[in-house]
């Protein structure tokens, strides 16, 4: 079952103002995609870039959490192969959609509740503690960066967080056990006790407005770092996928760690096409 949470809009890079067209010719001159020849070489090159960087900003996607038992969206067996996402307008308009959304979320609870940070999370938390990472930008909704040691204020969540709920009208927060009790008592998705609007996981669904503060902070981070690490994202969900391009365009080095090709590999300074836990494991505790 899928969490109800899911992002908003997608667009082809060429059709998006954040797309590749904003990469200047100067950035592309004299460069080719740099795919590490093997894992060891990739780890060594990444270590050199980390050592040389003053400010590193990681940008993570569902792939960093697959070793923690949380399926991603697009891999074989991923959540999208099992459930069609429920868009925001459908959630708002339909009682059935809200009930189905919550049934899916409850079905995922054993997975989310037992997941613990993986090697990727722990490596990034080590670099955060070392003062190299000021804050992390994530598309994930699983709270595992906070669990790994990042202060909540230093986790910029572009797509929200599925470990609690909010009223879509007034924003009142609710914990999931409260939602579940109400669901079981009434046989359906609860409404807000303050304003009667529907209560939803605190996530951003397709068609839902992006969180302005998170977008602003992610923009600042992407523009101010000298090393940007895109980790475990297929980089097809916009506007989030614009941040690696933005960082690159502002002069940061870009590293992509993903076990399959992404559409932005050709602008990266280093591509590590391996398992994230294997690639980042050597940086745990450093
Ligand atoms: P995605 O599913 O589109 O892409 C994940 C990428 O990670 C894929 O390219 C996959 O090949 C790669 N990958 C998976 N496991 C890997 C591993 N162990 N090592 C290396 N690469 C690996 O995910 P996305 O780009 O983050 O976009 C999907 C959206 O889905 C997110 O915005 C998020 O809101 C939501 N989502 C979140 C979670 C979560 O919080 N853990 C899980 C599923 C979906």
Smallest CA separation from ligand 1 atom 19, residue: 275
Domain boundaries, the chain: 13-283
Identify which of 63, 81, 163 to mutate to test ligand 1's pocket (most ligand atoms within 8 A of the CB).
Answer: 63
Beta-carbon contacts of 37 under 8 Å, excluding residues fewer than 6 positions away, are none
Identify which of 5, 158, 205, 232 to mutate to test ligand 1's pocket (most ligand atoms within 8 A of the CB).
Answer: 232
The tens digit of pLDDT for each residue in 179-235 reads: 999 999 999 999 999 999 999 999 999 999 999 999 999 999 999 999 999 999 999
Q: Are 74 and 61 in contact (CB under 8 A)?
A: no
Q: How many residues does the chain have?
A: 286
d(CA 63, CA 277): 10
How far lies 48's CA from each of 59, 103, 163, 270, in Å? 19, 47, 36, 11
Half-sphere exposure of 209 (CA within 13 A, CB side): 4
Closest CA to 233 of 44, 40, 60: 60
d(CA 257, CA 49): 14
pLDDT along the chain (286 residues), means of 10: 36 34 45 83 97 98 96 71 86 97 95 97 98 98 98 98 98 98 96 98 95 98 98 94 97 98 95 98 90
Model pLDDT, residue 78: 61
- Does the C-beta of 66 come closer than 6 Å to ligand 1? yes
Kindly state which CATH superfamily the domain 13-283 is placed in: TPP-binding domain (3.40.50.1220)
Ligand 1: distance of its center to the CA of 139 in Å? Answer: 9
Residue 203 backbone dihedrals phi, psi, to 5 degrees: -120, 170
Model pLDDT, residue 76: 65
pTM of the model: 0.90
Closest CA to 158 of 227, 74, 78, 244: 244
Model pLDDT, residue 21: 37
Q: Which of 18, 121, 145, 159 is catalytic?
A: 159
Model pLDDT, residue 74: 72
Smallest CA separation from ligand 1 atom 32, residue: 139
Residue at token pair 């303050």: 194
- Does the C-beta of 234 come closer than 6 Å to ligand 1? yes
Smallest CA separation from ligand 1 atom 2, residue: 73
Beta-carbon contacts of 247 under 8 Å, excluding residues fewer than 6 positions away, are 57, 222, 223, 225, 228, 254
Is-catalytic flag, 159? yes
Model pLDDT, residue 83: 79
Smallest CA separation from ligand 1 atom 25, residue: 233
């Amino acid at each position: 079952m899928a969490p109800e949470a899911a992002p908003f809009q997608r667009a082809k890079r060429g059709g998006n103002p954040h797309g590749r067209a904003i990469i200047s010719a100067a950035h592309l001159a004299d460069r080719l995609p740099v795919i590490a020849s093997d894992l060891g070489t990739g780890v060594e090159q990444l270590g050199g870039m980390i050592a040389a960087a003053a400010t590193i900003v990681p940008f993570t996607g569902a792939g960093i959490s697959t070793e923690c038992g949380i399926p991603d969206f697009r891999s074989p067996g991923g959540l999208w192969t099992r459930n069609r996402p429920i868009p925001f307008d459908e959630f708002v308009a339909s009682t059935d959609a809200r009930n189905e959304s919550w049934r899916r979320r409850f079905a995922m609870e054993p997975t989310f509740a037992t997941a613990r940070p993986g090697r990727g999370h722990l490596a990034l938390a080590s670099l955060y503690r070392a003062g190299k990472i000021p804050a992390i930008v994530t598309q994930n909704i699983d709270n595992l960066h906070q669990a790994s040691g990042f202060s909540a204020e230093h986790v910029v969540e572009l797509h929200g967080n599925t470990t609690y709920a909010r009223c879509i009208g007034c924003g009142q927060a609710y914990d999931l056990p409260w939602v579940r009790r109400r669901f079981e008592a009434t046989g359906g998705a609860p409404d807000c006790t303050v304003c009667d609007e529907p209560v939803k996981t605190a996530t951003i669904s397709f068609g839902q407005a992006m969180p302005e503060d998170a977008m602003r902070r992610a923009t600042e981070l992407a523009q101010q770092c000298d090393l940007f690490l895109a980790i475990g994202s297929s980089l097809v969900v916009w506007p989030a996928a614009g941040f690696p391009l933005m960082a690159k365009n502002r002069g940061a080095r870009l590293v992509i760690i993903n076990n399959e090709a992404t559409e932005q590999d050709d602008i990266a300074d280093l591509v590590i096409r391996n398992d994230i836990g294997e690639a980042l494991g050597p940086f745990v505790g450093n």
